[in-house]
Amino acid sequence: EVEGKTFEYKGNLLWNDTEKENIENNEQKPNENKKPDEHQKPDEHQKPDEHQKPDTNLPSNEEVEKAKEELKTYLKTIKEDSIELKAIKTEKNKEVLETIKSEIQKAKALLEDKNIDKEKLEKIKKIPFKKVANKKSGLFRDLAKKVKVDFDVQSGDEVVNPHTNKKYKSLKDNKIFIKTSLENLKKNKESEDVYFKLNFVTEEEFNKYNKALDATTSSTPKYERDEIKATDYTLTKVDGGYEVEIKKMKENVKLVKPVVYVKFSNGVYFENGTIVFVNKQAPKKEDVFEKITSDEVTVKAYSNLNDETLKNALKNLPENSTLEVKTKPDLTSVGEKEAILTVKANEKQKDIKVKVNVTSSLALNHTPRVRMVNQPNEKTLPEVTEGYKIDWKEKLKGALKNSIYKNVEVLTVPTEDDLTKIGIKNIKFKITFTDDSIREYELGALNVTPSNASENEPKTKEIDHYIGDELTEENLKQAITNLTDQMKENEGGYYFKVLEYPKDESLKKVSKTTAKVRIVYGDATFREVEITINVKEKPAPKKDMDVCATKKVYAKDEVIYVTLKDENLHPMMGLKLFVVDQSGKETEKTDLKVTKPHEMNSDVKNTLQIEKDFFKTNGNYKLKLVQKGYNDKLIDINIADRTKTANLSKENDYVYTNMDSFKISGESGSKLNVKFIKKNFFSEEYFEVPQSEITEKNGVFTVNLKNIKDKIKDAKEITFYATKENFADSDIVRVNYKTPNIFDKNNVKEITIKQNPTKTVYTEEESFDPKGMVVTLKDMNGLTKDVKASEFTKEGVIVAVKAPLTKDTTSVEISYTNAKCTLNIIVKEKKAVEEKKIVSFEKIEDFETENGKAIKTAGEDCVFPKTLKAKLSDNSTIDIKVNRWKGYANFWHKESVKKTFVFEADYDLPQGITGDKIKVSLNVIVLPKVVAPKPELVLDKESYFYTENPVIYLKNFPFGRPEVIVHKDTNNTTKDVTLKSPQDFDYVGGTNKSITLKTDAIFKKENKEFTKDETLNITVKRNNISIDLQINYKKTPRVYANPKNYEFDNSDVKVSMVFDDESIKNKDKVKFFNGQDEIKILKRTNEYNDDNGTNDDYFYISKDVISGFFKDSVNGIKVVGKCENCKDFFFTITKKGIQNKKITAKAIENEEDGTTPIQKIPFCQYGQNHSMRIEVSKENGLTKEFLEKNLSVKIQSVNENEFYGTFTVKEQNGKLIVYVPTDQNLGKIIYKNLSPEETKDGYDGRFPITKLTLEIPGFEPNTVKFSVQS
């Protein structure tokens, strides 16, 4: 408790104990009864008394200046922002803070006051803080004592101080909780602005006052106290304030006194504190159960509240006591409940209530969404033929899938009778949620449906078979007329399987015979059918048509040509042509036009033409040709627009014969066709440039002509067009091929003046100026070239004229080699010049510059005016060049006001100007010195993930690379590490200086993630600047996919994503991969999820995309999801209803010294360079590439949690080997061996066992074991 003082307001200033101290020091107390009339006005008509003596009430100037300087220095130390702190700006302090603000303004007004009398002087002297002979004084010191910092000790029991009869708190476990809104509180000497002191009073000192004071009337005694060393206690920021824990204290301490200080000015602090007793007063005698306390137990609804948890809630139990749980609370609803425990001790017992706070849980309001399990109402093929038994508990688990489920247990299964009756059957489930709440449900989860076989009974027809042909499964399939999309390959085998073929003898003669086949439907039910076969004589074989389309891609406006290389193929012989569109519709082309080929194409007998505009839309078509005696012929063609994307453009209309190459712009990926054409009177020949001479880069084609010069020398024209896959040919572009037109500068026969010079009229003694003149040169071939006056010397054009000019000069001769021309000019007689004088100069604006900025006052870089505008005696004006400015300026002055310096211009009088020079001055104003802003560190974000690198902006820092120090906490000690650049951080200098920390290089996390929120404390130093900064890192977020194992039923895949950190929830940044192959996302939606009552993000993948991965007997894939800043996640997609394949794998035993170890299980050494090796069989199509994309290895070491580990796949000597490192960073592998006499479950003798489970979508998991040894 801080002793206060009584304050009394005297006029406009506050007087208090300072006056008392002044009186005690023999100073005169101010006259309290004399008050100045602040509103009195002076007599406006009063005349000054010429004989009046000087006012003896006025102090000397020296005395006033000294007092003002002291006040000015003190006011600079005031931290006005301290008044605005939340812990200071409280309602209790409102009145005195207003007074402080008012007195600050009054003090500043006194500094500006020019009429200081002795009374005002005394006020000025009383304001600054002073300490003389341990006596402290000052106006604001006294006001600050009235301000109480927000401060309250709330921990510990209450103890009455006998000296004051007031209650105070006591220490609890050597800790004090201080409730305060004060920020950035540091220990004493760690900060001078906001700090904390902890004093103590001994029992001896405390007991001095036991008899001296009346406890009912006395104020707190002034105990003599000492300070506890800062190293003997800790000060920690906690919610709502700070926690002080005393680590070391003398034995005879009676009480401690925590005090907080906030600096207001030099020597003046706002403060608050109290006393805290070390020991409580002696307690009253209690019964054996009185000390028992009960902690509140918080549990989730529907959770498993065990007895041990309730028992642990009771504290301070008597010795040798026993506990029994008498009643448990109802956990099916939220709210405050209670449990009752019976405590027995010393042959007595007592019921103690334990408060149980039941909070909401996932199980409380959750209604499961059932994914119905469909089952046909008759036996499936595996059940009938193989005796396959359905594991209903495992199968029905799939009815309930949600990311909030930890485990689903099926409590009831259907009976044989249930499976024959169509309809929905109820199943009992027990769900354990991710928050460990548990609830049982009875749900309609099994739907017994009519079998596909009963709804699609096979319909058959007789089929024909020719003697000598092979009877295939495809032939027999034609006998079933109602095969549907439901009949697909499934776990029962092929949807169509031949059980019995006809005997060979029956297929060698005309007869009727039968075959037996099995049809397996999509739900694995089946039917076996007998097919009737008519065996017939084989007709004569048909010939294949020798025909083709001249091109694969046509435009709609092109004629399509089909060449016929068989003379018997002709419409006259019954040839028909049909056009088949994308839907399969056939349209006969009846008006076929047939043309004979040129003699040079002797192998082509006829050509069919399909006229322009027959095709109305673009797309893929087939031309179907049919003629008796021939097999039908299908020709694929594509109708497309002429490619506009080729965008062919030529550089100009000519390619010259002396060029080695030329360029054409187009579209990257196109093919350019170039032809050089030689035209004769009767014919046109062409040469096509080989593709080897045409290169393309970024859509620019370069045609090389070097190697074909002799073949194109007589060409006159070049045509080129582009082709591209799935596009018709582009339009033809033409350019001329010709001999270049080059001006011959050695054979110029004529020069003419195209443009006269700017000036053609001169005065005597001036020189000719060709500026603006342009001449034209013409060679013997009639080619011309223009030459500007600025190019005359370079190009060899000569100007001949007398210099200086005289009045008889009338022309100038211009020549180039032997060619000449003449320019007429006029030269006037020079008149006598009248005398001119400078009358005045145009006013020069003041030049203002920043303090500390170096500027040039002379030379070429001078920033002052370089010319002066002068007015002459004939009223004309002239610009006069300044030679230099003479003068001096201090650009680094330290004054707080502007400083003016005068410079004088030094110049020469121009020719023809007489008289005296007029003085020209320039005022240079240097602004006051700017106080350098305070250096600070600013982060670009509030927090970061492991994948992000914090950017720290160094504001107001000196130039140069700073030193960055990281303070790492290791084993309760702080270790300073200086970072290196560029390994640990990058530095950018210049005006926007910054540091980019490299998170991975600093933390070096092997798994590249944060498993919890972390902080990084650093110090940035440069020269004498040192600033601390704390950087917050967030736990690496997780994304959860649902379902984890998706069954693909040839429809679009729909997967929900749950983000455990809303700040990173960016569905647009989620990407899916199978190995390195990206799986394109069809769409993203946000839909309501009945399971958890929230809107979740759903991702759709096209069925066509997934079907593209299911090739080469692939039945499943592993999909790895990636999202910015998140941990990678994965889920699997498998074909619905497939029979899982088997993974054949075995552990590879290590051999030591050429002998096999005695352990039953293969062993592996633990360490960074040791891996468990598993050989995987290549059967069922497994390859190295497939395993790298789709394999997952689940690892579980003895008594440890399962986790998915890292691995590599290699192919060695034709075998697939999976290497699993023993030093995993995603989970723990036990490798510590037991002593020889110890044995334990989960060990191979004395060596710990680790199970590795290989998981591949579409395959049954396979587990191998290793003993990992130290």
Q: Model confidence over 694-729: pLDDT tens digits?
A: 898 888 888 898 888 888 877 777 777 666 655 666
How does 92-131 read in b/e, with b if 16+ C-beta sit within 10 Å? ebeebbebbeebbeebeebeeeeebeeebbebbbbbbbbe
Provide CB contacts within 8 A for 120, sequence distance 6+: 110, 113
More confident residue, 364 or 776: 776
Say how many CA atoms lie within 13 Å of 295 toward its Cβ.
12
Question: From edge to edge, which strands make up the β-sheet containing 717-723?
Answer: 654-656, 733-738, 717-723, 671-679, 684-688
- pLDDT computed for residue 971 by the predictor: 59
- pLDDT computed for residue 494 by the predictor: 52
- pLDDT computed for residue 166 by the predictor: 85
Tokens of 1123: 């999202």
SS3 assignment, position 242: strand
Amino acid (one-letter) located at 1015: T
Mean pLDDT, rounded, for 1034-1041 = 87
* DSSP output for 1086-1143: EEEETTTTEEEEEEEE-HHHHHHHS-TT--EEEEEEE-TTSPPEEEEEEETT---EE-
Give the integer Cα–Cα distance in Å for 1268 and 1270.
Answer: 7
In tens, the pLDDT along 376-408 reads 988 888 888 877 888 888 888 888 888 889 999
How does 651-660 read in b/e, with b if 16+ C-beta sit within 10 Å? eeebbeeeee
Which residue, among 168, 172, 242, has the nearest Cα to 201 in the 3D structure?
168
Provide CB contacts within 8 A for 1008, sequence distance 6+: 946, 947, 1000
- pLDDT computed for residue 131 by the predictor: 82
Give the integer Cα–Cα distance in Å for 1219 and 503.
Answer: 54
Confidence of residue 835 (pLDDT cuts 50, 70, 90): confident
For the entire predicted model, the pTM comes to 0.33
**Is the CA virtual torsion 437, 441, 443, 445 positive or negative?**
positive
Question: What HEC string does 568-623 produce?
Answer: CCCHHHCCEEEEECCCCCEEEECCCEEECCCCCCCCCCEEEEECCCCCCCCEEEEE
How does 317-348 read in b/e, with b if 16+ C-beta sit within 10 Å? bbeebebebeebbebeeeeebebebebebeee
Which residue, among 371, 372, 386, 425, has the nearest Cα to 524 in the 3D structure?
386
Tracing tokens 């049954």 back to the chain, one arrives at 1260
Mean pLDDT, rounded, for 870-898 = 88
Give the integer Cα–Cα distance in Å for 1236 and 916.
Answer: 118
Provide CB contacts within 8 A for 234, sequence distance 6+: 243, 244, 245, 247
Does residue 521 have a pLDDT over 50?
yes
Tracing tokens 């027809």 back to the chain, one arrives at 461
Provide CB contacts within 8 A for 127, sequence distance 6+: 71, 74, 103, 107, 110, 138, 139, 140
Structure-derived torsion over alpha carbons of residues 306, 309, 311, 313, reported in degrees to the nearest 10: -150
CB–CB of 1152/1178 below 8 Å? no
Task: For the beta carbon of residue 259, count every other beta carbon within 10 angstroms.
Answer: 19
Provide CB contacts within 8 A for 1112, sequence distance 6+: 1181
Confidence of residue 731 (pLDDT cuts 50, 70, 90): low
Give the integer Cα–Cα distance in Å for 24 and 700.
Answer: 100
Asked if omega into 541 is within 30° of 0 (cis), the reply is no
Tracing tokens 């812990």 back to the chain, one arrives at 87
In tens, the pLDDT along 925-937 reads 999 887 778 899 9
Does residue 951 have a pLDDT over 50?
yes
Burial of 1035 from C-beta contacts in 10 A (0-12 / 13-18 / 19+): middle
Task: For the beta carbon of residue 645, count every other beta carbon within 10 angstroms.
Answer: 14
In tens, the pLDDT along 271-298 reads 999 999 987 543 344 467 888 899 999 9
- pLDDT computed for residue 189 by the predictor: 87
Give the integer Cα–Cα distance in Å for 461 and 785.
Answer: 92
Does residue 23 have a pLDDT over 90?
no
Asked if omega into 42 is within 30° of 0 (cis), the reply is no
Give the integer Cα–Cα distance in Å for 1229 and 1250.
Answer: 7
- pLDDT computed for residue 986 by the predictor: 94
Provide CB contacts within 8 A for 733, sequence distance 6+: 648, 649, 650, 664, 719, 720, 721
Tokens of 861: 């870089």
Give the integer Cα–Cα distance in Å for 367 and 1092.
Answer: 8
Which residue, among 526, 460, 459, has the nearest Cα to 496 in the 3D structure?
526
Does residue 215 have a pLDDT over 70?
no
Tracing tokens 């007074």 back to the chain, one arrives at 99
Give the integer Cα–Cα distance in Å for 356 and 312.
Answer: 13
Burial of 521 from C-beta contacts in 10 A (0-12 / 13-18 / 19+): buried
Tokens of 670: 């196109």
Contacts 24+ apart (CB under 8 A), 186-193: 186/235, 187/230, 187/235, 188/227, 188/230, 189/230, 190/230, 192/263, 193/79, 193/82, 193/262, 193/263
Tokens of 682: 């009767």
Mean pLDDT, rounded, for 1019-1038 = 92
Give the integer Cα–Cα distance in Å for 919 and 906.
Answer: 9
In tens, the pLDDT along 97-130 reads 999 999 999 999 988 888 888 888 888 999 998 8
Tokens of 452: 């596909």
Confidence of residue 626 (pLDDT cuts 50, 70, 90): very high
More confident residue, 1002 or 46: 1002
Mean pLDDT, rounded, for 142-171 = 88
Give the integer Cα–Cα distance in Å for 1197 and 964.
Answer: 42
- pLDDT computed for residue 721 by the predictor: 66
Does residue 1252 have a pLDDT over 80?
yes
Which residue, among 742, 751, 752, has the nearest Cα to 781 in the 3D structure?
742
Burial of 182 from C-beta contacts in 10 A (0-12 / 13-18 / 19+): buried
Region of 660 (left: φ > 0; alpha: ψ -120 to 50; beta: rest) is alpha
Tokens of 1196: 């579980």
Give the integer Cα–Cα distance in Å for 737 and 676.
Answer: 8
Tokens of 759: 């000036």
Does residue 557 have a pLDDT over 50?
yes
- pLDDT computed for residue 1184 by the predictor: 92
End-to-end C-alpha distance for the chain, whole angstroms:
63
Region of 316 (left: φ > 0; alpha: ψ -120 to 50; beta: rest) is left
Which residue, among 783, 787, 799, has the nearest Cα to 742 in the 3D structure?
783
What values do phi and psi take at 121, rounded to 5?
Answer: -60, -40
CB–CB of 322/344 below 8 Å? yes
Q: Where are the alpha helices (DSSP H) in 115-239?
A: 118-126, 139-144, 203-207
CB–CB of 593/607 below 8 Å? no
DSSP run (H or E) holding 1053: strand 1053-1059
How does the average pLDDT of the chain come out, rounded? 84
Angle at 714 between CA 710 and CA 716, to 5 degrees: 130
Give the integer Cα–Cα distance in Å for 264 and 87.
Answer: 13
Mean pLDDT, rounded, for 2-6 = 38
